[in-house]
Amino acid sequence: MVPRGSNAGLRVSLPVMRIDLHTHSIASDGTETPADVARSAKTAGLDVFALTDHDTTAGWQEAGDTAVTLGLAFVPGMEITCTTSNGVSVHMLSYLHDPTHEPLLTALESSRAGRLTRARRMVELLSADYDITWDDVQRHMGADATVGRPHIADALVELGIVSNRSAAFFDILSGRSPYYVRHTTMDPVEAIKLVRAAGGVPVCAHPMAPTRGRIPTEADFDAMIDAGLAGLEVAHRDNPDETRAILMQMAADHDLIVTGSSDYHGKGKPNLLGENSTSVQSLTRICEQATSDIKVRWP
């Protein structure tokens, strides 16, 4: 007999789902097609994944089609490159927004155009010292991809100038390099307002990652929360344990959604699908806050 007050003998069947809400394809700086990201997600044993390419939703259809065919759920997402007025880099994940929302699209197109001018300028500067051309870079970009330094890194690898993307970022392509060129991007507060206006759910990616440069100040976080920030990507390999504790407290204080993700870039980064994950409860809250017609695609 099961003693009173004991759970012994109880069969608890909570749903166990492996959910990874941050991945990239060749629509931005990942190395796999959107369909291949879905296949890799299946191989990695995920049940749900989001495609969150930088500043574009071009991979949604293909990734979603493949995902449901393989029996995976697909969350349409994006990662918006932002910079605060003090020059701190912030990446804002957006889930389930309307990809045709004009004000958001206009801001993204301006950002993407700025990235192109900037990448070409960086290659021009590099070409003074290295045998690299814009064609070398373009070979590593998907059609209409959001261009970034990783594409320049891939060209440098192919040309034998560096051994991999990480080595390129450590030195030639770092923010302190003479070849580095800035580009104009959205303010995170503006991005949050646009994502909300487009019915999406804004979650700050790797919010306290000192290895990525300066982190947002308390005032920056307060402004983002006031603007409608929905969540914080706490479990990400770039957030050290010390800052995860601060982020968990911030989430508790402001009732923010906590997520965890891999930030998979295919072969472009060591990050592995499913190395961090998001709870069913957090995904449910994201779905509840979304107000556009875009839904999670279930198999």
Closer of 80 and 297 to Fe ion (Cβ): 80
SS3 at position 19: strand
- CB of residue 99 to Zn ion, shortest distance in Å: 18
User: Which one among 112, 146, 263, 283 touches Zn ion, defined by CB under 5 A?
Assistant: 263
The reply on whether position 55 binds ligand AMP by CB under 6 A is no
Alpha-carbon distances of 12 from 16, 53, 95, 182, 280, rounded to whole Å: 11, 37, 31, 53, 16
Site string for Zn ion, 62-101 (x = CB under 5 A): -----------------x----------------------
The reply on whether position 53 binds ligand AMP by CB under 6 A is no
| CA 128 from centre of chain | 33
Binding residues for Fe ion, per CB under 5 A? 29, 91, 205
SS3 at position 152: helix
User: Which one among 148, 202, 207, 231 touches ligand AMP, defined by CB under 6 A?
Assistant: 148
DSSP assignments along 70-98, one per residue: HT-EEEEEEEEEEE-TT--EEEEEEES--
- CB of residue 161 to ligand AMP, shortest distance in Å: 15
CB 296 within 8 A of CB 284: no
Where in 212-241 is the site for ligand AMP (CB under 6 A)? none
- CB of residue 88 to ligand AMP, shortest distance in Å: 14
The reply on whether position 154 binds ligand AMP by CB under 6 A is no
Residues binding Zn ion: number (CB under 5 A)? 2
The reply on whether position 32 binds Zn ion by CB under 5 A is no
Closer of 91 and 244 to Fe ion (Cβ): 91
β-sheet with 201-204: strand ranges across: 19-20, 48-51, 73-83, 89-95, 201-204, 231-235, 257-260
Pairing of strands 89-95, 73-83: antiparallel
Residue ranges that bind Zn ion, judged by CB under 5 A: 79, 263
